A and B are shown apart, each in its own frame.
Chain A
Amino acid sequence: MKKILLLGLALVTTATTASAQTTLTGAGASFPYPLYSKMFDEYKKANGVSVNYQSVGSGAGQKQILERTVDFAGSDTAMSDAQMKDAPGKLLHIPTAIGAVVPSYNLPGVTATLKFDGPTLANIYLGKIKTWNDPAIAKLNAGVTLPPLPITVVRRSDGSGTTGVFTDYLSKVSSEWKTKVGSATSVSWPIGTGAKGNDGVAGVVKSTPGALGYVELVYAKQNKLTFGTMKNRAGKFIVADNVPASLAANGVVIPADTRVSLTNSANADAYPIASFTYVIFYQDQKYANRTEAQAQALQKLLNWMVTSGQQFNEPLDYAKLPEGVAKKAQTIINTMTYGGKKL
C-alpha cells in the first residue's frame, strides 16, 4: 500500500514538473503534418519547448482557434473575412510552406509525360472531355499516341485543402467552372469517383487504366506516381517540383496579411497549381489562462518556423517560402502583443 502511495506521489510530482515547462499546442491541416512533426521535433531538441500538433483537418483547426482551445491552427486555406468575423480577437495568418497539386494519371502504353493546361483539365472535370484521344488533349501532346480509353475522373471525397487549391485554379482558368462549380475545400462535383485522402485517389488512379486524379506533390513524389506537366500562365510547361512551386509566390502580389491565392501565378517559371499552407494565431496573446511566457514561446516558435525551420521543407518535399515572403511573415509575427503590450 505504501509503495503504491509513493509511486502515486512520484507520478504527481513528475506531472507537475512537466507542466511547468512550456508546451504549445496546435491543430489543423493534415497536409503539413509530416513537416511540422519534423520541425517541432528539431525545435524541441534545440530549445526544449515541446509542441503538440494534431492533424485534424483545416476546418477543425480553424474551429479550434476560434474557440481558443489551441495556441495556433494549421490551415491549407486562409480564413475569409466572414469567418474571422466570429473570432473573439484579431487573427493573423503566416505561411509556413508551399504545396503543389499535380494531375496524376494511369495510361497503359503511354511512356511520354503528358502535358495538360488549365482549360483542358477543367473540361475533363466538367465531363466535357470524355476520352484520352480527345482533340484537346491530342493538341497539347503532339507526337504521343493516345489510346481511345474513357477518362475515369477521380477526386477527393473528403474535404481537403488539396481540393481547395485545385478548384481555385480551375475557377481561375475556366469561367464555366467558376460559375458551375466554384472553389472550396469540398465542392459539388459534376462527375467523377470520390476517394478518401491522397492515398485513396492514388489508389484508384493506380488500379484503373485511363484514370486521372489530382494529388499533392509531396504524396506523388514520395509514392513515385506518374503525373503530367502543367502549362503555366506564361505558356511554359512546368514539371511540378519544389522550386517551381516556390516561384509561384514570386509571381503574385503578396498582401501584408499574406492571405492570397498562389494559383495561376504570373511568374514565367512558376508551377500554376500551388498554395501556401498557413499557421493562424491571435495577434493579442492574452486570453484564457495564457501566460506571457507562453505567448513569447509561441512568437519564438513562429519566427523559427519561417526562418531556420525552413531548412526542413525541401528534404521533406515541401517548397520553401521565398525570401520576401518569409520577411513579410516575420513582420506579422512582430506585431504580436500580450494584453496590448508588444511582445
Chain B
Amino acid sequence: MIEPVKRPAVNSSLSSASDRVFEYIILALASIIVLVFLLSLYQLGKESWPALQKFGLSFFTNREWNPVTSNFGAISMITGTLITSLAALAISVPLAIASALFVAEYAPKWLADPVGYLIELLAAVPSVVYGLFALFVIAKGLSHWQQSFFTSPEKIATYTHCKSLWDAGTTSFQCFFVPISFDGRGLALAIIILTIMILPYTASVARDVIRLVPADQREAMYALGATKWEVISKAILPYARAGIMGGVILALGRALGETLAVAMVIGDSQDSIKSIFSGASTMASVIANQFGDAQEQIHRSSVVTLGFTLFFLSVLVNYIARIIIARLTPKGIQ
C-alpha cells in the first residue's frame, strides 16, 4: 500500500476555507430564488384571499366578470388562456421543427447561419412591437378579408345564417370560422401573433439539440443504407425529441404568460367563444388591462386571483410537460 502524498498544510487549509466560503455564497444565492418563489406565492395568496373567500370555487366556474356588481368569475379567461396558448403551440411547433431541421441538416452553412440568427432575433423583439405589428399589419389584412363577409352576396348569406346561430347562443363548425365583425381583432389575431412570438423558442432549442445528435448515430444509419429522410425520422428526431419537448415547454410558458401583445389585440370579451374571430380574453391580458384602475378592493383582489390562477396553471402545465418528456426520452440517454 502506498500512502497518499499529503498536501502541504498551508495550502490545504486555505483552499478548504475558500471552498466553504464559496459553498455558502452559492447556497445563499440559490436560496434567493427559492425565497422569491415562496414570497411571491405568499403575496399572491394573501392578496387574492378576499376574492377566494367571497366567491370560493365558483370563481373558477363563473363566466361573469362584472366590476359594477362586483361579481367576478374567471372561466372565460382560463379557457381563453388555454385556447390561445395551445392553438399557438400547435401551429408553431411544426414550423419550428421544420426550420430547425432545415438549419441543422439541409441548409448550406452560408444560409444556415443567417437564418438561425434571424430566428433567434425574433425572440429578442419586445412584445409591444409584436402587438403593434399585429395591429398595423396583420389586423389590416384580416379586416380586409373579413369585410368580404359583409359585401359579397353569398358570404352575406353565410354570415346571416351564422348570426342567427350565434344569437341563439350556439355555433357550428363552419360558423366557428366566420367573422363576427370586421375589425380584425380577436382570438384569431392573438393566436397568430403568439405563434410568431413563441416560434424562436422551440426553433432554437430544437436546432441545438439536433446539432448535438452524435455523428455516430447518423453514420450508423447511413451505413445501413438509409435515405436522408430515414436518418432524420429514425435516428435524429427520436434522439432529440426530449430536448425538443423542452423547447416546446419554454414556448408554452411564454404563450401562457404573454401579456402586452395579447392585451393589445384580443378584443377583451368575456362572452363564450362562438367564432375564432370573436373577442376573447386571457388571464394575463385582463391583469394588464384592469389592475392599474381597479378601485374596489374585491376587484383588485379578483385580478390578483387571476394571477394566482395563472401561476398554478403554469406550474400544472409544466409538470404535465415534464412527465411527457420523461416518457419520451429514449432509454439510455438521460
Contact = CB atoms under 8 A, between A and B. Distances in A.
Contacts of A185: 67, 293, 295
A247 interface: no
Interface stretch (B20-28, B48-56, B139-147): B139-147
B150 interface: yes
B267 interface: yes
B4 interface: no
Contacts of A69: none
Contacts of A161: 293
A243 interface: no
A186 B140 contact: no
A188 B182 contact: no
B68 A187 contact: yes
Q: How large is the interface on A (under 10, 10 to 19, 20 to 34, 35 or more residues)?
A: 35 or more
Nearest to A155: B268
Contacts of A196: 263-264, 289
B297 interface: yes
Contacts of A209: 147, 182
A311 interface: no
A188 B269 CA distance: 8
A207 B289 contact: no
Contacts of B246: none
A208 B293 contact: no
Nearest to B65: A188
A79 B296 CA distance: 10
B186 A200 contact: no
Contacts of A189: 269
**Binding site secondary structure of chain A:** loop
Given A157-B267, A207-B140, A188 B67 contact: yes
Contact of B184 (A159, A182, A208): A208
Interface in B267-308: 267-270, 279, 281, 285, 288-297, 300
B64 interface: yes
B183 A63 contact: no
B143 A207 contact: yes
Q: Name the residue in B279, B281, B292, B296 with the highest tally of chain A Cβ atoms < 10 Å from its Cβ.
A: B292
Point out which of B135, B150, B183, B288 has the most chain A C-beta atoms below 10 A from its C-beta: B183
B207 interface: no
A183 B147 CA distance: 32
B295 A195 contact: no
A83 B296 contact: yes
A63 B300 CA distance: 10
A154 interface: yes
B267 A160 contact: no
Interface string A235-278: 00000000000000000000000000000000000000000000
A150 B150 CA distance: 8
Nearest to B181: A152
Given A157-B263, A200-B264, A86 B297 contact: yes
B293 A193 contact: no
A181 interface: yes
Interface string A175-194: 00000011111111100111
Nearest to B146: A208
A157 B292 CA distance: 12
Given A59-B293, A59-B294, A83-B295, A193 B186 contact: yes
Given A60-B293, A186-B290, A194-B267, A203 B135 contact: yes
Given A157-B289, A159-B293, A204-B185, A188 B143 contact: no
Interface string B191-206: 0000000000000000
A59 B292 contact: yes
A166 to B, nearest CB: 13
Contacts of B65: 188
A77 B182 contact: no
Nearest to A76: B293
A4 to B, nearest CB: 25
Contacts of B267: 157, 193-195
26 contacts: A58-B293, A62-B295, A77-B295, A150-B150, A152-B181, A152-B183, A157-B267, A159-B292, A160-B293, A185-B67, A185-B295, A188-B65, A192-B269, A193-B183, A193-B268, A193-B279, A194-B268, A194-B281, A194-B289, A195-B264, A200-B135, A203-B135, A207-B143, A208-B143, A209-B182, A210-B182
Q: 4 nearest interchain CB pairs?
A: A159-B293, A194-B268, A57-B292, A157-B268
Interface of A: 56-60, 62-63, 77, 79, 83, 86, 149-150, 152, 154, 157-161, 181-189, 192-196, 200, 203-204, 207-211
Given A158-B289, A159-B293, A209-B182, 20 more contacts: A57-B293, A58-B293, A59-B291, A59-B293, A59-B295, A154-B183, A158-B293, A159-B290, A161-B293, A183-B68, A186-B289, A192-B269, A193-B267, A193-B268, A193-B279, A194-B281, A196-B263, A203-B135, A207-B140, A210-B182
